[in-house]
Amino acid sequence: MAEAPASPGGGGSHESGEQIPRSNVREQDRYLPIANISRIMKKALPANGKIAKDAKETLQECVSEFISFITSEANDKCQKKKRKTINGDDLLWAMATIGLEDYIDHLKVCLQRFRESISQGLSSCRES
């Protein structure tokens, strides 16, 4: 399983108090690509809207840290169940665990649609 993005401070910590060394993680591996972040941000603005570079970088750090935190919670659950693969349901569980229940219903719909699209894509590949 891939290591989750590191926190900007260079060391990660978890509820258990365990320190995770992050010094060997390259900067570009710690955060989501800024181009992806920028593209998503621009979709929420009018066509003539502009976004400052520091705003993009700040959101890049925040989103990357958020993903790391959710993934860490899901990973803890998987380790307790002796599983090596985190799935979508694990991520939803992690979000509910940290108090983001308001998003779960919408995300369940998104996850179901994603699974259906994968299923349809695989079945069309088998037919050819």
Q: What is the CATH number of the domain that holds 33?
A: 1.10.20.10
Q: What is the average per-residue pLDDT within 100-126? A: 85
Domain annotation covers residue 92: yes
pLDDT band with cut points at 50, 70 and 90 for residue 120: confident
A 10 A CB-CB count for 79 gives 12
Domain annotation covers residue 31: yes
89 pairs with which residues across the strands?
Answer: none
Domain annotation covers residue 118: no
Domain annotation covers residue 123: no
- The reported pLDDT for the residue numbered 6 is 42
Domain annotation covers residue 46: yes
Burial (CB < 10 A; 0-12, 13-18, 19+), residue 5, is: buried
Domain annotation covers residue 5: no
Rounded CA-CA distance 51/72 in Å is 30
Domain annotation covers residue 4: no
Q: What is the average per-residue pLDDT within 70-99? A: 96
Query: Cβ(49)–Cβ(71) under 8 Å?
Result: no
SS3 label, residue 26 = coil
In which region does residue 63 sit, left (phi positive, over 0), alpha (psi from -120 to 50) or beta (all else)? alpha
Residue 71 CA to its chain's centroid (Å): 7
pLDDT digit string (tens) for 29-51? 789 999 999 999 999 999 999 99
- The reported pLDDT for the residue numbered 58 is 95
Scanning 1-128, the segments in alpha helix (DSSP H) are 27-30, 34-43, 53-80, 88-97, 104-127
Full-model pTM: 0.67
How many independent structural domains does the chain possess? 1
Which structural domain, as residue segments, surrounds residue 75?
11-100
Whether the per-residue pLDDT at 14 is higher than 50: the answer is no
